Amino acid sequence: MPVFIGAGGGLIALQRRLKQFSIEDLQLLSSSWIYITLAPLVGGLLAFVLYMLFLSNLLDGQLFPKFVPDSGIDPETQNSFFVLFKTHGDGPEAYAKLIFWSFVAGFSERFVIDIINRFQRNAG
């Protein structure tokens, strides 16, 4: 779900930027579907990265969604990659926050990139 919401945010951001594009940019957009789909693809990818940051608890606090593991996870798969997707929001507000932040990730690509840069600076 975050990927689709992020892609929607990317589409709306592209639509809002159309007014500022030059004639050459608009001609390039009209002749290539790759340029049109680039903003939604990047928005969806950044929303997924943000979702992983939420799952890892690297971003936490009142403004961000909290996820908890599903009950009854098979001990054999407990340490596998797929356990990431066996989580659920800690209440309905977690899903509302996830939808909001996924949209923001697609709409404002700089938001997630700034978060990644902050992690990079702190790690170095």
The answer to whether residue 78 scores a pLDDT higher than 80 is no
Number of domains in the chain: 1
Q: What is the pLDDT of residues 15-55, one digit of tens each?
A: 888 889 889 888 888 888 888 888 899 999 999 999 999 99
The two three-digit tokens of residue 28, written as one number: 């390039």
Q: 10 Å Cβ neighbour count for 54?
A: 22
User: How much is the pTM?
Assistant: 0.85
Q: Provide the pLDDT for residue 75.
A: 66
Query: Contact at 8 Å (CB) between 46 and 103?
Result: no
Mean pLDDT of 80-103: 89
Q: Provide the pLDDT for residue 76.
A: 66
Give the pLDDT band of residue 9 (cuts 50, 70, 90). very high
Q: Provide the pLDDT for residue 27.
A: 86
Q: Which residue range(s) make up the domain with 108?
A: 2-123
Q: Provide the pLDDT for residue 4.
A: 96
**R_g of the chain computed on alpha carbons:** 17
